[in-house]
């Protein structure tokens, strides 16, 4: 039987002409589908979903909308078009032409970066797999499924690199990506945040706002890579990532909006009253925010990291917007501010800039995150409610790096174990908060209807009206 690869697996990597890659993918694809059936969105396999599929990198081809059953989604392999003139822009190889193949001396580090990136993609699908059993609307359910299939496609993107450029050990790593499981004690996902639960829709919106934004920054750092196939793959992935963050930002914004309307209507800020009225009180939203923000900033790694220095000097992973810097792009002499605790207080110290690249990317990320929280605050202000959401201090609730293990309040004070024990329930989502939020999670499945705890969106998808049948259950 002849397989038309362009139909089955839309691609711009000449899959049809590459026998070795075909063989590797023909072995991996059934394993992937098995994983999707076992670990992908629960109870959704026969549902028709109005999905966007990338069928080419052309502006008219990367967002093709139609009803699709998710196991039949065409997980394509796309690289943004090559720039034949591109040079390595930083590190010891600065000025050399970018690599079309893996340089032998950087092979292990490149594989590690690709595997770490790849691991987050199926992890997030696993974390979100029960969410579709509830939903605040068909519009939101479609968005969840869109995010899920695109994370699946991003896994394909990394697996393509492993299969195409890393031979046998690449194939083994690609298999292991389907074997680790989010939250599994014996075989967990690689990075901490991807082993946390995403148990309800508020957590999903926070995750897509904060954690997908880590994706944005890490992918942007990888688009600078001297290994051109990685740079081009991640560039294309970023087009999809933008929608995921939009789902998060607008989702949290709609929850806040609905709560504020009910607060204004009933002239109350009493959490218990608001909960009885079926909306999520703002202090609970703040505690969710604190949790997702702090868990996500750990994803940038240790403040001072020799791995980060090596990745940069070898030309594998750059800074966010590397080419906009007017420095030497070598950073051998430069320093960068990092936090230290001296005499029980957090102070700003210095580290070699090369070693502090994780911290630098974290700081860039924080600026971007804070901007969206400002937009949420404007929603609150417009309803006249005197409340402001804040982003906790960078040192709050850290599990990675030298700040881990210290007890720090959201305002950045170093506090005692006793104060932490007394107060942490005011700062981080508690079991009671989660039980309450879970109690709101019904399944709203009539077209155009929305759960009481969230406002309808101002914009639907692909210019469709809000009462469009985004999901058809069969
Ligand atoms: N949890 O020297 P360090 C996305 C480990 S999200 C657990 O600082 P490095 C997405 C670290 O592995 C973007 N362990 O490490 C979003 C190391 O272990 P070893 C994902 C952690 O290498 C939503 C040790 O601690 N992409 O796309 O400089 C949905 C020392 O740390 C953690 C990437 O991350 C942690 N949080 O930095 C779907 C890009 N942090 O060697 C998708 C690729 C550190 O001692 N990854 N460790 O065993 C990287 O660039 C780097 O691996 C990291 C870590 C920045 C993550």
Query: Tens digits of per-residue pLDDT, 14-57?
Result: 999 999 999 999 999 999 999 999 999 999 999 999 999 988 88
Residues 213, 230: Cα–Cα separation, whole Å? 19
Is 109 touching ligand 1 by the criterion CB < 6 Å? no
Whole-number Cα distances in Å, 13 to 102, 138, 233, 320:
17, 35, 11, 27
Task: Among 301, 303, 358, 401, say which to mutate for ligand 1: greatest number of ligand atoms within 8 Å of CB.
Answer: 301
How much is the pLDDT for 465?
Answer: 87
How much is the pLDDT for 4?
Answer: 65
Q: What phi-psi label fits residue 78: left (phi over 0), alpha (psi between -120 and 50 degrees) or beta?
A: beta
Nearest atom in ligand 1 to the alpha carbon of residue 305 is 2
Is 120 touching ligand 1 by the criterion CB < 6 Å? yes
Look at residues 197, 206, 192 and name the one whose alpha carbon lies nearest to residue 302: 192
pTM, two decimal places: 0.97
Which residues does the chain have with pLDDT short of 50?
1
Q: What is the DSSP letter of 81?
A: P
Phi and psi torsions of 302, nearest 5°:
-70, 150
Is 121 touching ligand 1 by the criterion CB < 6 Å? yes
Residue of the CA atom closest to atom 15 of ligand 1: 301
214-243 burial, b for 16+ CB within 10 Å, e for fewer? Answer: bbbbbbbbbbbbbbbbbbbbbbbbeebbeb
Structure tokens at 213: 């934004």
Spell out the residues 6+ positions from residue 298 whose beta carbon is closer than 8 angstroms to its own.
192, 193, 398, 399, 400, 401
Residues 79, 57: Cα–Cα separation, whole Å? 8
Nearest atom in ligand 1 to the alpha carbon of residue 317 is 50
Q: How far is the CA of 162 from the centre of ligand 1 (A)?
A: 18
Q: How far is the CA of 301 from the centre of ligand 1 (A)?
A: 5
Is 97 in a helix, a strand, or coil? strand
How much is the pLDDT for 3?
Answer: 56
Residue 337, class by beta-carbon neighbours within 10 Å (0-12 exposed, 13-18 middle, 19+ buried)? Answer: middle
Residue of the CA atom closest to atom 6 of ligand 1: 215
Look at residues 135, 141, 161, 290 and name the one whose alpha carbon lies nearest to residue 225: 161
Residues 398, 303: Cα–Cα separation, whole Å? 11
Do 465 and 137 form a contact (C-beta atoms < 8 A)?
Answer: no
Residues 266, 210: Cα–Cα separation, whole Å? 31
Q: How far is the CA of 364 from the centre of ligand 1 (A)?
A: 16
Interior angle at CA 427, CA 279 and CA 371, nearest 5: 75
Do 218 and 241 form a contact (C-beta atoms < 8 A)?
Answer: no
Is 140 touching ligand 1 by the criterion CB < 6 Å? no
Nearest atom in ligand 1 to the alpha carbon of residue 112 is 52
Phi and psi torsions of 415, nearest 5°:
-125, 170
Residue of the CA atom closest to atom 5 of ligand 1: 301
How much is the pLDDT for 1?
Answer: 43
Is 301 touching ligand 1 by the criterion CB < 6 Å? yes
């Amino acid at each position: 039987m002849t397989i038309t690869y362009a139909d089955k697996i839309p691609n711009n990597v000449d899959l049809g002409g590459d026998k070795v890659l075909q063989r590797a993918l023909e072995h991996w694809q059934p394993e992937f589908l098995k994983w999707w059936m076992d670990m992908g969105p629960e109870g959704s396999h026969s549902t028709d979903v109005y999905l966007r599929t990338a069928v080419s990198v052309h502006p008219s081809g990367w967002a093709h909308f139609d009803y699709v059953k998710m196991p039949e989604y065409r997980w394509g392999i796309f690289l943004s078009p090559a720039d034949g003139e591109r040079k390595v822009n930083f590190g010891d190889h600065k000025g050399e032409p970018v690599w079309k193949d893996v340089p032998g001396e950087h092979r292990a580090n490149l594989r590690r970066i690709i595997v770490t990136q790849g691991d987050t993609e199926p992890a997030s699908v696993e974390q979100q797999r029960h969410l579709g059993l509830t939903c605040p609307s068909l519009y939101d359910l479609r968005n969840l499924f869109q995010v899920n299939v695109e994370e699946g496609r991003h896994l394909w993107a990394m697996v393509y690199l492993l299969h195409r450029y890393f031979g046998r050990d690449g194939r083994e790593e690609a298999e292991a990506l389907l074997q680790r499981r989010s939250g599994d004690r014996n075989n967990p996902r690689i990075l901490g945040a991807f082993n946390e639960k995403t148990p309800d829709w508020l957590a999903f919106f926070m995750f897509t706002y904060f954690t997908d934004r880590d994706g944005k920054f890490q992918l942007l750092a990888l688009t600078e890579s001297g290994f051109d196939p990685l740079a081009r793959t991640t560039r294309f992935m970023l087009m999809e990532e933008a929608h995921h963050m939009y789902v998060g930002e607008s989702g949290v914004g709609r929850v806040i909006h609905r709560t504020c309307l009910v607060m204004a209507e009933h002239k109350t800020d009493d959490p218990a009253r608001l909960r009885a009225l079926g909306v999520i009180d703002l202090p609970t939203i703040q505690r969710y925010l604190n949790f997702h923000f702090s868990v996500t900033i750990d994803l940038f790694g240790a403040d001072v990291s020799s791995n980060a220095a090596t990745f940069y000097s070898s030309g594998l992973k750059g800074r966010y917007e590397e080419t906009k810097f007017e420095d030497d792009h070598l950073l051998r002499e430069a320093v960068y501010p990092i936090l230290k605790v001296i005499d029980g207080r957090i102070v700003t110290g210095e580290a070699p800039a090369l070693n502090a690249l994780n911290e630098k990317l974290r700081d860039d990320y924080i600026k971007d995150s804070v901007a969206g929280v400002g937009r949420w605050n404007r929603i609150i202000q417009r309803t006249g409610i005197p409340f402001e959401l804040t982003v906790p201090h960078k040192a709050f609730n850290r599990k990675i790096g030298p700040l881990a293990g210290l007890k720090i309040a959201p305002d950045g004070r170093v506090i005692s174990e006793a104060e932490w024990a007394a107060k942490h329930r005011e700062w981080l989502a508690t079991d009671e908060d989660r039980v309450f939020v879970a109690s709101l999670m019904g399944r709203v499945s009539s077209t155009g209807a929305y759960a009481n705890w969230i406002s309808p969106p101002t914009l639907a998808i692909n210019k469709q009206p809000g009462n469009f049948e985004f999901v058809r259950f069969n």
